[in-house]
Amino acid sequence: MTRSVSNSRTAAFVGVHGLLLIAAALMLTPFVWLLCAAFKLNEDVVASTFLPLNPEGFLGVAWNRLTVIHFRTLLGSLGLGRAALISVFLSATTAALATLLCAAAGYALAKLQFRGRTWAAALVLAAVTIPGPLLLAPSYTVLYQISLLDSYWGLILPAAAPAFGVFLFRQAMTSSVPDQLLEAARIDGCSELRLFSLIALPLVRPMVGAFMLITFLGAWTNYIGPQIVLQTPAKFPLAVFIAQLKGTYYQDYGLLMAATLVSIIPVLGLFLLLQREFISGLTSGAVKG
Amino acid sequence: MATQTPDAHVPSSAAAGSGPAGHASDGGVRARLTRAVDLLPFSFGGLLICALAVVSGVMVAANPAPRSSGPELWTFARLHHEMYEPIIRQWNAGEADPSRHLTPLLLSMPALERRMLSGFLSGMPTAELLEVERRVAARAFVGPVDSVGFVDLTERLRADGLLDRINAPSFSPWSSRGRIFGIPHDVHPVMLGYRADIVEAAGIDVSKIHTWEDFAREMAPLMVDKDGDGKSDRWLINFWPSQSDLIEVLLLQAGGGYFDEAGVPTVNSEANARVLATLVTWCVGEPYPKGKRIAGDAPDFSASGNALKLEGYVVSALMPDWMCNIWRNEIPQLAGKVKLMPLPAWPKPLPSQRRTSVWGGTMLGIARTAKDVDAMYEVAKRLYLSDDLARTLYTVGDIITPVRDHWSDPIFDKPDPFFSGQPKGRMYIDLAGDVPARSSSPYYILAQARVQDALLSLKDHAERRLPVTVEDLLPEARQLLENAQRAVLVQMRRNTFVDLPAGLDAPTEPQRGAAQ
Amino acid sequence: MTPALPASGPLGPQASAAAPRRRSLSGPALAAWLLLAPWLILFALFVLWPLGEAARLAVLQTFGPSATNFVGGRNFSALFADPLFWIAVRNTAIYAATSVLIQLPLALGLAMLLNRPDVRARAAFRLIFFSPSLVGVVYVAMIFGIMFEKRTGLINRALHSTIGWDLEYPWLQNAIMAALVIASLWQWVGFNMVYFLAALQNVRQDLMEAARIDGAGPWARFRLVTLPAIRPVAGFVVLLSVIGSFQLFELPYLMLNSSAGPENRGLTIVMYLYQTGFEIGDLGYASAIGWVLAVLLVVCAVAQRLLSRGEEDAA
């Protein structure tokens, strides 16, 4: 009896881990491919699937054909460092600003009574469904009218007011900030703005982390936006910088893959730092209060 | 998740894990407040992002990007950017006023295209000088001719005698409704590049090849099944319906094409139908001579296509002059193994038996919003028409100049080791006068897509009826192209700015399969 | 998901809101507008203004600032008669449906595997599954574009050596939608898994145990205990996936080298919008496409809300 239970438990354990390992292997394959390609010479990117082979090399791999030249070129003559700095600036500023603005608006909609609240909430809901591409062309005109073309703010400000963020924070505030707590603090003489910054915001900390990561990521990988708004090459962030490497008639795959690798690593690190909050934050936004 | 209760003593919105439940006394609130204050709104990760924003902001502000105040030149090709730099430096040295100094900027093609069109469509300034590829330039020609975003250069070119000095077909992609909007950069004649190592080892004499039929017959012995899977592992030419550029190259060679000089679609021409039917026979069935198939798919500009060319999966490929540069850089292992020859001709009754075609093209145009059009025209001429640049263009980019005066330069006679010592420049120049004219219609991308669809459908049709001949396929080809023509006309008719010639204006009833 | 009022209890918000109103009439209202203002200003500037512009464009045919013709509803009537538009709608709908039906169940499956108490190295697995969503779509398109190539592509090579698959199978010509679904599956399955993983924390273990004791099988336990607990999140994830799928553009556009692929097999609604607006320069027609898409998305959102409300009522 006990044995059969433990047997079936072992079988389940093996089965579950087997499935997970297969899934993980499939998910990792493109990364492994990318990692290999980044260290290969251009002709080997074409000729070998993963690492270039040589039966005489250690583990059958032609180690001497691997190279770090792409990274050297990127950081040296091509000036990837500056593009990376600009990407960090754009993404971090957008993330911080968008989080603050959306949290404030979400708090107001969830926790404060005022005339027009129903309308404002409806506006947010409706705005979530507006397809971004509809605004692609008119936005360019608007940026021109207010002289924000070729400026970082022309990228940051439009991205700092996503309706979706307000929606998420309204959910989080509704479910995580008890009215009684706010009420009691009001009786204690706490001002409304302090209520928001000192009580409500800390209570939705997971949402703050999650939303920061999402907006950071969105800004980091944004490719069409900077390509339209920024004109001076010295202002290009990583995504555009890498797209520029992809020549019209000539492609250096090794270089492209090395640049791709460099642009993935920072966000991976950031995710590791924010992982826990991110996951609980996603829940508080997705779950109804 | 939190179930709503009508009980006012239970916080209606308390969620699991966060705020504590129940009414709190004043002291309790105090304690809770201090705890809440202790909890910073941002965790370490959040703080890090904020810190990054501040630090990187300071660093970016401390190193502002240099911004030129003078005119700009946008180009999409790194090579061009490098070639123009010394000429522009020289030009700027001659200008005392720094606000008139020209700054070249390298943009990716999609970026250049998007910005150019955004500027033209909204009347906003773009760069003063725009170097654009054919597909991109065509987009400027949708509206009324006096609304084109480029300056009309026709009279200036005529006054300078450039209309005669430059190879005539080179103007065609930059001309719309009789006006010329750009200085041509190139001719881009097409030859056939073939694997001399493979062909010569098999004892094949390419001088016997005059037509595509000769080509298939002479080269056929090269198609062999090496791994015994019942399929040939080598094909005679790189062609596949998925490579839409190649379709146009071959249609133009045969005297077909998508539009006539007036911009009227000619998608449904008999020449197009015949070429399409022939191309399908290239791609289906048994290898020649058992069947008609000679083509394999080794796409250009891709790692896999390069690997296939290297492996000898295809023996030959259509090679415009610029493609020589791609092969030189992307497949350096082929050095000394490749040779060029004029394209085999299409047989009669196809209208043209020329031995070349054309693929790609670039122009330099002046934006309407440019402040000093005369100065820009001067610098454009210096960039495009000098003999220095003609030589650089060839030595660095393998591209021959459209300026006929420079064709006598001995540099074009130099043997090219990559192409087994052939005087490649001279061979291209000998074909330059024969290059077919192309349309500048903004609807050409649309036409190209519809013709490609027709070719794909025709291939499916043929595969169900193997073996097939060109004659078998002609009726279906005509019908498919008729549908394609109609699809193009439907889009063109929506354009209220451009008048279609009489007869084409009346909407026709869609026939079978019009929803192509 | 919630109606404008945060709680529906008869004494909930009303009671709490009444108290401050008695003391300072304008306090919370003023604060509310102060807190809303920065977002609202940017929103008006970068969403409402362009939206107005898009509305104006939809009834025009323009080319440049000097050439504008008023065409009224002709952009829309031409659109509804345009076979290409319907191809785009069909492709997009197929993509959305397959994404939801394949990707979300897989995401849920992975989440349930990871949620088992005996799983080792949970954090590592979670990171591996999640990490593709950190890679931008530009890179996903680049990597998968190369992996889907025939003969040399990793996918055909792997399938060829394992199940004898045709080495020359042209994914990016014959099976564009499948290729897109696979690429976006790789990119987003882990992201959706995290949503489900979070939702699974709401499954009450006591109910699960009770069901087990009552002899409910795994499927019955899933249906009766797990599913009701994750339903709100599932509804949200489905809505997000559908909205995201309907805006599919960059992945096929980049993977197919700025084209729609043979016979427009890869044409999506937004790609058609982009092609007409930015490649042909017909901004009016593009705006019309955008408005139809907006209506489609609103319909999806409303349908989802009605469905979830219906379920609530039934529960």
Question: Each residue of B392-409: pLDDT tens digit?
Answer: 999 989 999 999 999 999
pLDDT over threshold 70, residue B480: yes
Q: How far is B148 from chain C (nearest CA, A)?
A: 8
Nearest Cα to B211, choosing from B256, B258, B254?
B254
Radius of gyration over alpha carbons of chain A, in Å?
A: 25
pLDDT over threshold 80, residue B477: yes
- pTM beyond 0.95, yes or no: no
Supply the pLDDT for residue B513: 38
Supply the pLDDT for residue C15: 39
- The region of weakest confidence among A109-123, B354-368, B410-424 is A109-123
Radius of gyration over alpha carbons of chain B, in Å?
A: 30
Supply the pLDDT for residue B28: 60
Distance CA A177, CA B197 (A): 77
Q: In 3-state terms, what secondary structure has residue A69?
A: helix
- Sign of the four-CA dihedral A179, A182, A187, A188: positive
Give yes or no for A180 touching B (CB within 8 A).
yes
Q: Which chains touch B (3 or more CB pairs under 8 A)?
A: A, C
Give yes or no for A109 touching B (CB within 8 A).
no
Under the banding of pLDDT at 50, 70 and 90, the label for residue B421 is: very high
> Residue ranges per domain, chain C?
12-57, 76-314
Whether residues C279 and B242 touch (CB distance < 8 A) is answered with: no
pLDDT over threshold 90, residue A49: no
Q: Which chains touch A (3 or more CB pairs under 8 A)?
A: B, C
> Residue ranges per domain, chain B?
72-184+360-432, 190-358+439-493
pLDDT over threshold 70, residue C210: yes
Cβ contacts of A109 on chain C, cutoff 8 Å: 36
As a whole number, the mean pLDDT across chain C is 82
Cβ contacts of B453 on chain C, cutoff 8 Å: 262-264
Whether residues C9 and B120 touch (CB distance < 8 A) is answered with: no
Whether residues C146 and A283 touch (CB distance < 8 A) is answered with: no
Supply the pLDDT for residue A143: 86
Q: Which chains touch C (3 or more CB pairs under 8 A)?
A: A, B
Under the banding of pLDDT at 50, 70 and 90, the label for residue B501 is: low
- Which fold, B72-184+360-432? D-Maltodextrin-Binding Protein; domain 2 (3.40.190)
Distance CA C186, CA C144 (A): 10
- Token pair, residue A269, equals 């690190």
pLDDT over threshold 50, residue B16: no
Phi-psi sector, B218: left (phi>0), alpha (psi -120 to 50), beta: alpha
Under the banding of pLDDT at 50, 70 and 90, the label for residue B211 is: very high
Supply the pLDDT for residue C80: 92
pLDDT over threshold 80, residue A286: no
Under the banding of pLDDT at 50, 70 and 90, the label for residue C9 is: very low
**Is CATH 3.40.50.300 what the domain over A78-286 is classified as, yes or no?**
no
pLDDT over threshold 50, residue B510: no
Residues paired with B287 in a beta bridge: B293
- Which fold, C76-314? MetI-like fold (1.10.3720)
Supply the pLDDT for residue C312: 59
Comparing C54 with C314, which gets the higher pLDDT? C54
pLDDT over threshold 60, residue B40: no
Domain with CATH 1.10.3720.10 in chain A: 78-286
Question: Each residue of C58-92: pLDDT tens digit?
Answer: 888 877 666 778 888 888 998 998 888 999 999 99
Whether residues C264 and B453 touch (CB distance < 8 A) is answered with: yes
Highest average pLDDT, of A37-41, B235-239, B263-267, comes from B235-239
Cβ contacts of B117 on chain C, cutoff 8 Å: 278, 281
- Token pair, residue C9, equals 């209890």
* DSSP state letters, A99-161: HHHHHHHHHHHHH---TTHHHHHHHHHHHHTS-GGGGHHHHHHHHHHTT-TTSTHHHHHHHT-
Site of tokens 């082979």: A53
Distance CA B217, CA C240 (A): 58
> DSSP E strands: which ranges in A139-289?
none
- Token pair, residue B305, equals 């296509």
Return the ∠ at Cα C229 (arms to C223 and C232), rounded to 5°: 110
Mean per-residue pLDDT, B79-87? 87
Return the ∠ at Cα C140 (arms to C135 and C145), rounded to 5°: 165
Q: In 3-state terms, what secondary structure has residue A257?
A: helix
Give yes or no for C142 touching A (CB within 8 A).
yes
Supply the pLDDT for residue B68: 64
**Domain B190-358+439-493, CATH class in plain words:** alpha beta
As a whole number, the mean pLDDT across chain A is 82
Comparing B513 with C216, which gets the higher pLDDT? C216
